[in-house]
Each structure stands twice: as structure tokens, then as C-alpha cells.
Structure 1
Amino acid sequence: MAWRDSRRGRGRLLLFVAGVALGIAALVGINSFGDNLARSINEQARELVGADLVLSSNQPFDSTLVPALRRLSPVQAQERAFGSLVQFPRVQGVRLAQVRGITGGFPYYGDWDVQPRAAVAAFRAGCGALVDDVLLSQFGARVGDSVRVGRLSLLIIGKVLHTPGQSGLGSAVAPTVFVPGAQVAATGLVQRGSRVQYRQYFRFAPGTDVAALIKPFETRFDRANIDTDTVASRQQRTGRAFHDLTRYLSLVAFVALLLGCVGVASTVSLYVREKLAAVAVLRCLGASGRQALLIYLIQTAGLGLLGALIGAALGAGVQAVLPRVLGDFLPVAVRVGVSWPAIATGVGAGLGLAVLFALLPLLSIRRVAPLRVLRAAFEADTAAPDPLRGLVLGVLALGILGFAYLQTHEWKLALGFGAGLAAALGALAGLGWALTWAVRRYFPGGWGYVWRQGLANLYRPQNQTLTLIISIGLGTFLLATLYLTQGLLLSRVATADAGKQPNLVLYDIQPEQRAGVEALLTQRGLPIVQRVPIVTMRLSAINRRTVTELKRDTAGGKGIPAWILSREYRVTYRDTLSPSEKLTAGTLPRRGPDGTPYVSVDNSYFERAKLKLGDTLTFNVQGAPLVAIVGGTREVDWSRVQTNFLVLFPKGVLEGAPQFHVILTRTPNTAALGAVQQALVRQFPNVSALDLGLILQTVDDILSKISFVVRFMAGFSIATGLLVLASSVVVSRYQRVRESVLLRTLGASRRQILRITLVEYALLGLLASLAGIMLSVLAAWALAVWVFDSPYTPNLLPLLVLAGGVAGLTAAIGLFNSRDVLTRPPLEVLRAEG
């Protein structure tokens, strides 16, 4: 009976299949990509590290530890890495780059893609430099040119296209110049106080348990501030990072699926209204309410399964595109393959949700009375609430939360997603209900005929007001929130290029070089906006409890983030606050009666480290212990373009410690920037210059690529919303045709009917998009205040353009699907009515 009855309605319900298919395509595509990425990371874990073990420190390895490290493996490589300005003399190009001086055969695993291939062997023999292709392309340099690093000039013997473990985006942000390790000293850049990263790479025999091998060294490594990186730890860390990305995108895709299911409920609701007379006839012939319900439930379940299978096939295609889009972010080459768990999850979730959403309007079929055959206007049987409705809603809510937990594996995140989704849906539904009530309550009786009819369609039977505001509004909300957040992030960096803000940072200036650098800037007419001494140190204890104890003692270290215990601190000393700081508690930095320094710390750092005023912090300053007392807290405006610090010391404590200076200045144009960089390379080769304008461009590129991916996923939501619109119009076409014929019988022209339809759908699209934009403005404001802590002024013009575009697209689809309204003759409907 379900098959036989569906013959007349299959075409009208196929659009609801498309809505489900789109949501499942997005979901299966993202989950398949995540599975393939995880598998590729596992398969290429050694290539991520380039070795079996990496030891790294910001100071040379302790001489007492070196003999033991040499005995670990006969196959080793050493590296010294630091940031420096590099120059290409032929083209007069200068840029900050990462210089890596390598001795030995690193990388041991993975393909070091260098052109020409023979350049790798020549480099290991100490014959020249290898330079990232990104850096060569920027200045038009080529193999055969020379590159100047400090006092050393080297022949460029090859260009590096890919280094194991480094993504394309990493090369763009920090392009690398590889130099032979034996020639690092000749650059003159590694001096007392220079910031250098020391790394040692090890290769072991296959099957070696690296974790067990280095376990006896853990205490010595902690004491010497040496970090370890193994294949297993890099695999876990990289997999976790990209799992966070894929689970976020999968939740965005899940929203698209939920929108499709909202369309299912709307379409089935309209479909059921048409079938009530047929159900009444079945009841007269002896069918039970349960049988009638199952007939139409089988129909919708069959269509839901069809949509799920089509969506799974489309998702397999989507996941093949994502590695190309995200290629610059990925440290591994993703091998695309069919992920059956992702397909099973997508099909199961899609089918289950489609059936549950369809079941809500189908429940009214159970109570259809045979009396409807005799009384066409009989409504009493379906007006009363169904007791099963609450059960279905409960199962639906549990299903949504269960799936969110399946993606996040954290109940807090799952509940947060559910609460946020409920809030957004509730706000949009409330707006739709308020609109319907307001139009009916305050109907503008004095307006023109076309406007009155178009507005009345917003609350007449078979209206799509609530459904379309929810579906299209939620899609617009995702897109607009993405745009506003991207603009918010860019505005924090863009201040570097506004007004008299500094746009050039000079750092690694040694104390004896400061006067010379300042004189160079003064000669060129550049202002010295700020000069700051910086001392590097590490935290060794909190309240006399060592960092090692805090890491191992879960009770004592619980709640203290790992970065607080293991990071390298860069601090300065002064007795006053800068314009970007405000005292919130305690006192300014000062020295106690016994000479003990009282430091001021950032508010957020104070809270995350679980500190109290009067607590002690013990720092390791280049091997010398220094005990400080937390004397006060500051609120720091981190968006200001100047040096800001987590920990601020008073004067009279750190002046004798190894340190370097930072100077902030502003160049009026690109020519002045290039000239001062050239002068720095000639006179002070160890001084690095950070171009904040280049940082702004890099951040813009990064955000553009990320936003494209999220826009791509949000596009599924918009497309699903438009399919919901199309399916709702198709299913309710008979009602619209009937109304149109009655209007034409009363003298309305086709042009007037066309304009009435246009008013209805344009208003729906405009109100839905404006609702989504209003929510996005609130969401972006919340992010600005509570996450980014920055001022918020949204750019409304692009948002209004988005609202107009969505309204126009909605009106176009509504007109296209309503074309039968203009072509059906009045007599056909009048005969059917008779």
C-alpha cells in the first residue's frame, strides 16, 4: 500500500531526498577526510619527524650529557636554528628567514624534495646553501645566485620544494635557508645572548623502543630544559590537532543535515495535509490508525534511505576535494580512500534523523477519524496533542546529543553544541512565530492590493514562514559569523598599519649594539617608538615546588596548563606601566627591603597558573636561580602594537643578566623599509627585522584559506535551506494554485499574482537572512568581548549585500517553482473544487 500510494507523490518528495542527501554528503565527506588524514598521519609518522628521536633546547647541550647522547646511536645529526635577515645581493632582496645549520644526514625519513636532486649530496658535503622555493620566488632569485647570512655569503645550489614535517603554509610564514652546520659560526650570528634553537636528531635500528631507551634520561632532560619528540608523540600531537579541525567541520556539516531534516518535517507536514482525506477513506475500509501511520512512515523512510545513499556517494567525492583545499595546512600527503565507518555513520545518522523528524508530523495520521469522509472541514481528530510526540522529541534530542558526543568525545562540548544549536533554532523559530503573529495582528489594511496579499501569505494555510526562517536563517548565520570573525582577527593585526603605529620591529639587538642601531634609525629619519630590554628565562618552581613535581603530581599540578610550566619566558624590567597596561591588584613591580623582586603578572596568566598574591616563582635565568614574589596583577591590551609581557620585573634586578634589546619604529613606505633592512644587514647582521605589514598579509592569506573551507561547509547549509524552500513550494503548490485561481476569478491579473508571489518569497528570504545576520552580530560581539578581548565594530555593508543576495535567490526559486500558478486554467481548479 505504501508503494502504491506513493506513485502520485514521488516527484514532489524527491526534493526532500535532495535536502537529506546534501547534509549527509557534507557529513560523510568531512568524516571520510578525517579518517583518511588520521590513517595518513599514522602511515607517515616517521616522515613528520624526519628521525626516530629529536632533542631540542634553547641552549647548548650540557657537556656532561653529550657523551651519553653519543652512545645512544651511531647515526646522529645536529642542527642550530635561528631567525635572521637574509639578503640576495643580485636582486637586493632582504627578508627575515629561519636559518637552519645542519650537520649529518637529516632528514633520515621522508622525501626531502630539492631541485636539482644532486644538491642534497653537495649540501651535506658543505658546498652551498639550500633555500625554500617560496623565498626564491618572492625576490625572483634562482639557483646559482648567492645568499648572504650574516657575514657569510653562500652559493645557492638548490631550491627546497618540501621538507619532511613542514607544511606549505609553514614555508610561507617562515621560509627556511639551510646552511652547512660547519659554517654557522662564520655567519657571526651566534653570539652571547642570541636566541638559538639547538636540536639533535637520532636514527635507531627498526623495532627500537625509543620511549624505553630515553626513560633513564627524563630527569636530566627536565633539569636541562631539553624537550623530546618521538615518532609516537608527534603522531599523537599532530593527529589530535587535525582531529580538532575535522570534528569542528563535521559539526558544521551536521548542522546542514539537521536543516535538511527540518525540511523533511516541513515537507512531510504539508504532504500529510493532502493525504488526510485518503487516510479517512482507508479508515472507513477498516485500516487502523497504526496501519495508516506505517504506510506513510515506510514511504518517508524509503525516501530517507535513498537520500542517505545518494549523500554518501556525494560525500565520497567531497572528501577527495578537501585534501587539495587544505593542502597548505597538512604536513602529510593524504591518501584518499573509501572510509566505510564514515559512510556507515553518515547513512545511519541521516536515516535515523530523517525518520524521527518525519515522524513528528506523521503522528497526526494515527488519529484521523472516518468522519472526515463526510465532513471536509472536520479538524477535531488531529487538533489534540499526541502523547507520543513528547517521546519522539526526547529520542530526537538524545540522538542529536549522542551524535555530537560521538564527534567530540566530550560531554561538555556535546552539551554546549546542543545548547547553542537549540538557542539558535529557538531564536529563529521565535522570530518566525513573532513575524506571523505580528502580520496577522497588525495587518496593514491600507496598503496596496499586491502587498496585502503577499503579506497574508505569510500566515495563510500551507505557509513556509517558520521553516524557511529557520533553515535559510541558520545558513546565513554561519556565513555571516565566519565573515565577522575573520574581520575581527584581521583588525587586531591591521592596527599595525594604521596611523602612527609601529610597523617594524628590530630584535636580537645586543646591549653594545643598541646605540649604533638607534643612530642608524635617526640618520634615516625614522622614529624610535619604543625600546625594551628582554631577558629570557624558564620557570623552575612555584611556591618551592619544582616544575618536575608539578608535572608528575596530578593533585598539585591539576589545572595548571602545560605551557606555563614548560615555556620559555621573555621578560623585561621597569617600575612603571606602559599605555597598554592597567594595574588591577597589588602593587607595581618593586624590590623588597631584602632586595627580593616583587613582580607583576598578567591577569589571565595569574588565573591560569592558580596563583595568589604573595606566591613565589623561581626562575632559571641562564643557569642562575632567581626567586620572585607575585606582588601585583595587570590587565594587558595584547592588541596594541608594542612589546607586552606576562611577567614584569622591577629595575635593579636583571640589568646584569644576558639580554637583548627590541626597538620598534615606523617606516613611511616600502622603499624606506627596504633601505633600513639593507643597512641592518651590512652593519648589524645579527639584528633581525620583523615587517608587521608582511605579517598582516600572511595572516590574511591564512584566514582566507581557513574561511574558504568553513564557507564551503556553510554553503551546504545555505543550499539545504534553499532545497527546503523548493520542496515546500512544490508540495504546497496545489494550495497556491487554488488561491491563485480564486484571485484570478475575482479579477486579478497574472502580473498581480506574480508580484504577490514575489513579495511573499522576497520577504521570507530577507527576514530569514536578517535574522541570521542579527544572530551573527551577537555571536561575533560575544567572541570579541569574551574571547579576543578587543573592540568590536561590525562592517554592515557586506552583511546587507549578503542579506539582499539571499533574499533575491529565495525569491527567484519561489517564482520558478510557482510557475504553475500562472499557467493553470481557473476551470480546472473550479471543477476539482466542485
Structure 2
Amino acid sequence: MAWRDGKASRRKLLLFMASIIMGIAAVVSIQSFGDNLKKNISEQSKSLMGADFIVDSRNPPNERVEGILDSLGGPDAKEINFPSMAAFPKSGTSKLVQVRGIEGGFPFYGVLETVPVSAANNYQQEGAALVDATVMLQYNLQPGDSIKVGEVTFPIAGSLRSIPGSSGLFSSIAPPVVIPYRFIQETGLIQKGSRLDYEFYFVQPDANLEKLEKYLDPLLDAEGADLDTHTSTSANLGRRYGNFGKFLNLVAFIALLLGCIGIASAINIYIKEKLRSVAVLKCIGATKRQTFLIYLLQIGALGLIGGIIGTIVGLILQQVFPIFLGDLLPVDVQISLAPKAIAMGLLLGLFMSILFALYPLMSTLYVSPLQALRVQEVDRSRSKRGLALVSLGILGFLFLFSYWLLKDWRYSVSFVAGILITFVILAGLSALAMKTIKKYFPTSWNFTARHSLLNLFRPQNQTLTLVLAIGIGTFLISTLYFTKDFLLAKTAMGTDPNSPNMILLDIQTEQKEAVANTILRDGYPVLTNIPIITMRVNSIQGKGVNDIRKDTTSTINSWILNHEFRVTYRDSLIASEKLESGEWVSKVTSKEKIPISISDNFARDAKVGVGDELTFNVQGVIMNTVVANIRTVDWGRMQLNFSIVFPLGILEEAPQFTVLTTRVADENASASLQKELVKEFPNVSILDIRQILVVIENLLNKISWIINFMAFFSILTGIIVLLGAVRTSKYQRIRESVLLRTIGAKSKQILKIVALEYLYLGILGGLSGILLSLISSQLLAMFVFESPFTPSLFPFLVLFPGITVLVLLIGLGNSIGVIKSPPLEVLRKEGR
């Protein structure tokens, strides 16, 4: 019976199934790609690192670290890397690069991919350099040309396509240049304040990496060094990309929820049309259980088939992710079947379709045989109890599924609460609009306009469902654009003449005046002159950092204990800072308990407040300090910010280097100034903020593409719900069309009525989503990013009219057949 009845209604049911397909495809594509990414990271963990484990340090290894290295058998390769300017004599240009001085056979796993291939093996013996392939293209360089790093000019052995240990994102700002380790000192770039990384590579495939991390890592941490194994690195990478995957899974899951809401609404209408058939079945002896199972089997079959098709579509869709996200991914992802994602897609299709269709299906239980003869109100007393139980089941499922994705019950509760609030607000906006139209109904409008408004209230209307479906999709895309805009606004330099767009780093004290004069001579201002001193935390509240490391009950963050802080001194706050507590101290003369200012994140992670005592090791000199105030720092601003600020009168004579900032007119002026500075001061590193902003914008655009992709599923699901609604209520519309024609309406008038109805629905759904996204984006800007919010025009000028027109076209396209249906079709159905 389920097969026969379903076969007769297959067109309606196929559209219901399409809602499930879209949602399942969205979830499976993200889940499967995430599983493949984790698998590839795990399989390629050694290739990512190039060794089994690494010992790294920001300082030359001391005697204790040297002893640990020797106890491990000595490193198989070593490296010093740092950012620096490199000059290209052929073109007279320069660029910030990541210099990597390597000695030994690194990489031991993975490939040092170069063109020509022989360059990877010969560059150390030949004393040549490997230059990033993108830089080679950008500056029209060929093997045999030269590159100047500091005081040494190297022939270019070949272009570097890939090397383990290089971050794709950071490489966009400072591309890698590999030179032989023995030339590092000759470059003259190893100076006071230089930001150096010393790395020692070990190849010990049989080593117990867990024991090494457990016993050696704390010892190295105490000496300012660190131990990284390929397994821990891959786990950290997996978690980092896994978090982004979880977010996308939730966005995809929302698309699935919309499909399920569409199914619930459509099944509700479908079952209402079947109630008389159910009554007839009961007249000839069918039980409640039998009639219920007939339609439950139909929905279950739909869910299963939808799950199968959706899973197949999702597995196909994941193939495009590596194409768009290539630069953001740490490995080359090889796509394969992900059993967990496939099983999840199949089960979700079956389970969610049944779960969301249960309440409409329950109405079959309360149909009286008398309904075969006359219309009778169904007793809703017990169905209300059923609604409560089904609602609890749905909420429980949402919580459990989100918990499975997020692994944190607090986030899961927040997600479910967020969904409920969003849906309630959209439903409230829809109900408010309906109530307002009823209260202030435009009785003076012409018949066509009035009747199109009344259609929003007609029996079997889909107003609420469509507002939810279209509104959620619009909400997701609009919030994305609003958020991306104020994130870019935080990093934008603006037109303020006092806003720097070039930062000069690693300027030695004896060079400071000469560098400043060069900038002034070229007609550019020196906007800031920032002294920087390096130091480490020695003790907190009288307890040494080594003792804190050994204290298993300590809640102080490890970065506070291990980090080498770059600290400045000045007499006032800057634009990115706000005093949170305590009093600002501008200048002191006594070195007894020096009053310092700390950032709020430092205070939180170090577990200190105003009045607490800290000691710092300033290059061998111990300084006793007391926290005078705590600052809130806007780290998102494109300027130098500091966790620790000393007052004037203390650090002026300490070994230091300087950072200068300036503002140049355009890219040509920037290139000209960089060329001159690199020629005279090869140790000075230059950050052109314009280039960083381009990288940030490209990153946000790539992330926005994938989120748009997920939001598109929500919009598409809404469209399918719309198609289903039109198809399901087709007979009702045919009947209305015939009645309108009977009282003299023309086909043109009926078409206008339909067009206006769908225009209202498109406006209502799109406007609801945009208004909700405005509220959420304002809250994000105010409380999360603490940034002024200026709405993007894209959602208003493109998204809103686009969605409205789309809803209108789909509604009209599916209603043409209704309008052209002959009156006899209705008369025949009435006579049955």
C-alpha cells in the first residue's frame, strides 16, 4: 500500500526528497573533506616537518641544550631562519623574504622540490640560493641570476616550489629563500634584536616520541627551547583545520535543518490531502497502526533514498574544495572515500526525515472513519502531547549531533540555543508582518493587489516555512559580508596622513639616525620611533619560572614562561590602547620595583593583577617590577602593540634596537624607498603593509567562498521547499483559479495575483534575513571585535533583490500550469 500510494504521488514526494538531498550533500561534502584532510595530515606528518622531531630555540643553544642535543646523538641537520630583505641586482628591486640557512641532508622526509631538480642537491656545495618560485616569476628571475642577502650575493641555483616547514600563508608575505648554513654569519644579519629561529633536525624513526615529549620537552622549555615531534605537529594542524571544519559542518547542518523543516511542512500538507483516504481505509478495517505505517514507510524510504543520493553528491562536491583552498591547506589532499561521512549521510537522511515528519504523520492516528463521509475536526488533545515529545526528540538530536561535531557541551548548548533564537526571530518577524497586514489591510487597493495579500493567509499557505528557509540562507550570506567588511576595516590603513603603511624593523641603535635621515631626505615623514628591548619573565609573585613549570597545579599559561618578550618604553598610551585598571606612570627615576603596564591578555594568562610583582631577565640583568596598570589592547590594528610597556627613565641605556614607521604615497614610492634602504642598510627588514592587506583580503575571500558555498545550500534548500510548496498545494491553487475565473477574473489578473504573492514572500524572506544579520553583525562588531560597524551594500543591492527575483520567477514558473488548467479538472475531482 505504501508503494502504490507513493507511486501515485511520486512527483510531490520527489521534491520533498530533494530538500534532504541538499542538506545531506552539504554535510557529507564538508565531513568527508575534513576526514580526508586529517588523514592526509597524519600520513604526511613527517613530510610536513622533514624529520622525525625537531629541537628549536629563539636563542643560540646554551650548554644545557647542547648537552641534550648530544644525548640524542646530535642533530642530523640544522638550520637558522629569519625574515630579512633580499635585493635582486638584475632588476634593482627588493623584497621581504624568509631566509633559511640549512646544513645537512634536510629534508629527510618529503621533497625539496626545485626547478631544475638538481638544484636541491647542489645548492650547498655550490654556495648558491634557492628562491621561491613565485618570486622568480614576479621579478623575472632565472637560474644563474643573483640575489643579495645582507652582505653576501648568491647565484640562484633554481626556483623553489616546495619545502617542508614553510607555511603557505606566511610564505605569501615572506617567501622562503634557502642558502647554505655556512654563509649565515657572513651576511651580517645576525645582530642584536634579530628575530632568529635555531632548528635542529633528528632522524630517529624508532624513537619513542611520547617519552621524548614527556621527559625532554619540560627540560628544554626551562632553557628557552622546545621539542616538536611529527606526531604532535600533525595533531596540532589537524585540530586547527578541524575547528574550521566544525564551523562549516554547523553551517551545512543548518541547510539540512531547513530541508527537514521543508519536509515537515510539505508532509503536513500531503497528509491533509490523504486524510479522507485514511478514513476510507479505516472504514474497511485498517487499524491506526497500519495507516500510520503506510505513510511512515513512505517517508522512511524517501529519507533513505535522499540520504544515498545526497551522500553521492556530497562526495562529488568535496573534489572542488582543494582547488579553492589550496593555499590555505598544509598538505596536498588526496581525496578518498570516508566511511564515517558516508555512514553519517545515510543515517541522517533516514533518521531526520522520519523525526521531522513524525508530527504531521501523527494526525493519521486521530482520523475518524466518519471523515470518509463528512469533514470533521480532528481531536488535537493527544496530538499536542505528541508534539511535545517530538519537539523534545528533535532538540535532543540537535544537541547530540552538535556535541558530536564540537566535543564541548557548552558550545553545543549555545549552538542549539542560537538555532532556536534565530528561528524564533524569523518566525516572529513573519508573524508580525502578517499581523500588521491584517490590522492595516489596504482595503483601498485594487482587487489584484488585495487578493495577492490575502493569499499569504490562505489555507495550506507556506509563508512561515519559506520565510524561515529563505531568511536563514540570506542571514548566513549577509552576516558573512558584513563581518568580512569590518574585519577588513580593522586592518585598513585609511587616508589619515598619520597612519603608517611601512614598518622598518631591526634597526640598530647606531643606525637609527641615518635610517631616519634617509626617509626624511626622500620626503617622507618618520611617524613613530619605537625602541625595543628583549627580555624574559624570571619570576611571578616571587616564584621562579622553573618552579612554576614543575608545579602541576599551576594555571599560568606556558607561553608566559617561555616567551621572549619584545618590550618598549614610553610616557603615554597610544590609539590602540585603553586603560582598564590602575594608574598610568609616565616616568620614574628609581629602579626599585619599577611600575609597568601589562596587557589584559598577559594579566589573564599570567594570573596577575594591579600591585602584583614580576621580575624580568633583561639580557642577564634582573629587574624587579610591580604591575601599575592593565591595558586593553586592540591587537587587530595594523600597528605595533606590546604586552609590556615600561615607563621612561629605566630602559634607555639597555641594549636595544629600533622600529621606525613612515607613510609613502604609492607602490612605486614604496619600491623606490625600499631599494635605497636595502642598499644602505641590508640588515633592516621592511614590512609594506599594503602587501599584508592584500594577503589578508585574499585569505578572507577564500574563506568567504567556502562559507558562501555552504550558505548557498540553505538558499537552494529554500528554493526546493518553495517548489515543493507550489507542487503540494497545486490542486488548491487550481481550485482557486477556477473560482476566480468563474466570477470573471482573467488569466492575466490571476498571473498578477500569483506574481505579487511571490514578490511579497521573496521580500519578506530576504528582508527578514538581512535585518537579522544586521543585528547579529552589530553585536559581533560591538562585543567580539570591538570595531565600528558600517554595513556592506552588497546584501542590499545584490543579494536582497536577487533572492526576491529568484523566488518570483520560481513561483511564476510553477504556477503557469495552474492558471492554464481547465475548470473541468476541478469539477472531476469534486465529483470523485
What's the secondary structure of 2:632's corresponding residue? strand
Unaligned runs of 5+ in 1: none
Would the aligned equivalents of 2:301 and 2:350 in 1 still touch at CA under 8 Å? no
Cα displacement (A) at 1:474: 0.5
Deviation at 1:383, TM superposition (A): 7.9
Partner of 1:586: 582
Q: Deviations over 1:111-139 (max 9, x none)?
A: 11111111012112142000111222222
Report the CA distance between 1:467 and its aligned residue.
0.2
Structure-1 residue corresponding to 2:66: 66
Specify the SS of the correspondent of 1:818. Answer: helix
Tell me if 1:793 matches 2:790: yes
> Corresponding residue for 2:123?
123
Deviations 1:711-767 (A, max 9, x none): 111111111111111111111111111111111111111111111111111111111
Aligned-partner Cα distance in 2 for 1:134–1:122: 21
Identity among equivalent positions (%) equals 44
- 1:530/1:642 contact within 8 Å kept: no
Q: Which amino acid aligns with 1:261?
A: C
Write the distance in 2 (CA, Å) between the matches of 1:215 and 1:23. 44
Deviation (angstroms), 1:196? 1.5
Q: Which of 720, 734, 744 is 1:737 aligned to?
A: 734
Which letter maps to 1:483?
Y
Paired position in structure 2 for 1:242: 241
Q: Aligned pair 1:428/2:426, yes or no?
A: yes
Number of the residue aligned with 1:614? 611
Given the alignment, which residue of 696, 702, 705 partners 1:705? 702
Query: What is aligned with 1:173?
Result: 173
- Tell me what 2:686 maps to: 689
In structure 1, what is the equivalent of residue 280 of structure 2? 281
Alignment-mate amino acid for residue 569 of structure 1: F
Report the counterpart of residue 134 of structure 1 in structure 2.
134
SS at structure 2 position matched to 1:534: strand
State the AA in 1 paired with 2:714: S
Q: Are 1:77 and 1:106, in contact at CA under 8 Å, matched by a contact in 2? A: yes
1:488: Cα distance to partner?
Answer: 1.4
Structure 2 unaligned residues grouped into runs of 5+: none
Contact 1:496 1:502 in 2 (8 A): no
- Whether contact under 8 Å (2:524, 2:662) holds in the other structure is yes
Residue number in structure 2 paired with 1:491: 489
Correspondence for 2:830: 833
CA distance in 1, matches of 2:192, 2:171: 28
Secondary structure, in 3 states, of the residue corresponding to 2:527?
Answer: strand
Post-superposition offset of 1:784: 1.1
Matched, 1:779 2:776: yes
Using the TM superposition, give the Cα deviation of residue 796 of structure 1 relative to its aligned residue in structure 2, in angstroms.
3.2
Query: What is the letter of the counterpart of residue 312 of structure 1?
Result: T
1:484: how far off?
A: 1.1
Q: For residue 73 of structure 1, report the CA deviation from its aligned partner.
A: 2.7
Change (3 A) 1:548 1:156: same
Aligned-residue offset at 1:380: 4.1
**CA distance, structure 1, for counterparts of residue 812 and residue 559 of structure 2:** 58
Query: Which residue of 440, 458, 461 corresponds with 1:460?
Result: 458
- Looking at structure 2, the residues matched to 316 and 218 of structure 1 have their Cα atoms a distance apart, in angstroms, of 41
Structure 1 residue 216: deviation in Å?
Answer: 5.3
* SS of aligned partner of 1:386: helix
2:402 maps to which of 379, 401, 404: 404
In structure 1, what residue type is equivalent to 2:237?
A: T
Residue in 1 aligned with 2:112?
Answer: 112
Partner in structure 2 of residue 56 of structure 1: 56
Alpha carbons of structure 1 residues 636 and 239: separation in structure 2 relative to 1, 3 Å: closer
Tell me, in whole angstroms, the C-alpha distance in 1 between the residues paired with 2:542 and 2:231: 33
Q: Work out whether residues 539 and 614 of structure 2, in 8 Å CA contact, stay in contact via their aligned partners in 1.
A: yes
Judged with a 3 Å threshold, the aligned counterparts in structure 2 of structure 1 residues 155 and 497 are, in CA distance, closer, same or farther, namely farther
Q: Quote how far apart the aligned CAs of 1:167 are.
A: 4.7
8 Å CA contact 1:89–1:146 kept in 2: the answer is yes
Displacement, 1:394?
A: 0.7
| Contact 1:134 1:172 (8 Å CA) reproduced | no
1:248-267 alignment runs, 5 A limit: 248-267=247-266
Alignment map for 1:236-635 (pairs within 5 Å): 236-376=235-375, 378-381=376-379, 385-495=383-493, 499-557=497-555, 560-589=556-585, 590-591=587-588, 595-635=592-632
* Contact 1:534-1:571 within 8 A present in 2 as well: yes
Per the TM alignment, residue 412 of structure 1 is displaced from its structure 2 partner at its CA by 0.8
Partner AA of 2:44 in structure 1: Q
Looking at structure 2, the residues matched to 746 and 739 of structure 1 have their Cα atoms a distance apart, in angstroms, of: 11
Q: Give the match's secondary structure for 2:610.
A: coil
Distance in structure 1 (CA, Å) of the matches to 2:553 and 2:661: 43
SS at match of 2:456: coil
Deviations 1:57-115 (A, max 9, x none): 11111145325413423552121111111111112221111111111111111011111
Structure 2 counterpart SS, 1:515: helix
Q: 1:277 Cα deviation (Å)? A: 1.2
Secondary structure at the aligned position of 2:566 is classed as strand
Residues 258 and 592 of structure 1: CA distance in aligned 2, closer, same or farther (over 3 Å)? farther
Q: Which residue of 1 aligns with 2:150?
A: 150
Distance 1:776 1:577 in 2: 35
Task: Give, as a single letter, the amino acid of the residue that structure 1 aligns with 2:226.
Answer: D
Q: Show the counterpart of 2:78.
A: 78
* Deviation at residue 625 of structure 1 after TM alignment: 2.9
- Are the equivalent residues in 2 in contact too, given 1:13–1:731 (CA < 8 A)? no
Deviations 1:410-439 (A, max 9, x none): 111111111111111111111222222222
Structure 1 residue identity aligned to 2:415: F
| Range that drifts further, 735-744 or 320-329 | 320-329
Comparing 385-394 and 590-599, the one that deviates more: 590-599
Offset, 1:29: 1.3
Residue 761 of structure 2 is matched in structure 1 by 764
Task: Give the whole-Å Cα distance in 2 for the aligned partners of 1:788 and 1:542.
Answer: 30
Counterparts of 2:422 and 2:318, CA distance in 1: 28
Q: Residues 607, 797 of structure 1: CA spacing in aligned structure 2 closer, same or farther, 3 A cutoff?
A: same
* Alpha-carbon distance in structure 1 between the residues aligned to 2:345 and 2:76: 47
TM-score calculated relative to the size of structure 1: 0.96
Cα gap change, 1:127/1:642 in structure 2, threshold over 3 Å: closer, same or farther?
closer
Asked whether the equivalents of residues 567 and 646 of structure 2 are also in contact (C-alpha less than 8 Å), the reply is: yes
Provide, for residues 120-177 of structure 1, a one-character-per-residue CA deviation record: whole Å limited to 9, x for no partner: 1211214200011122222222222111111111111111111124354342232011
Mapped partners of 1:550, 1:767: distance in 2: 59
SS in 2 for 1:645: coil
CA drift of 1:269 comes to 0.8
Deviation at 1:655, TM superposition (A): 2.1
Q: Partners of 2:82 and 2:753 in 1: how far apart?
A: 69
CA contact under 8 A between 2:493 and 2:500: conserved in structure 1?
A: no
> Residue by residue, what CA displacement relative to the aligned partner does 1:430-458 show, whole Å, maximum 9, x if unpaired?
12222222223322111122211111111
1:5-62 deviations in Å (ceiling 9; x for gaps): 2222111110111110111111111111111111111211111111122111111111
Q: Aligned partners of 2:238 and 2:779: how far apart in 1?
A: 30
Distance 1:214 1:408 in 2: 27
CA displacement at 1:367 relative to structure 2: 0.7
Residue in 2 that maps onto 1:27: 27
Superposition RMSD on alpha carbons, in Å? 1.9
* 2:208 is the alignment partner of 1:212: no
The size of the alignment, in residue pairs, is: 830
Relative to the length of structure 2, the TM-score reads 0.96
For 1:751 and 1:125, how far apart are their aligned partners in 2?
85
CA 216–398 in structure 1, closer or farther in 2 if over 3 Å, else same: closer
- Matched residue, 2:749: 752
Distance 1:826 1:214 in 2: 81
Per the alignment, in what secondary structure is the counterpart of residue 787 of structure 2?
coil
1-structure distance, mates of 2:591, 2:314: 69
CA contact (8 A) 1:51 1:203 kept: yes
C-alpha distance 801-73 of structure 1, shift in aligned 2 (>3 A): same
1:654 shift after superposition:
1.8
Determine if contact 2:308/2:345 at 8 Å carries over to the other structure.
Answer: no
Bigger Cα displacement from structure 2, 74-83 vs 99-108: 74-83
Query: Amino acid of the residue matched to residue 97 of structure 2?
Result: A
**C-alpha distance in 2 between matches for 1:548 and 1:714:** 50
Name the amino acid aligned to 1:789.
Answer: E
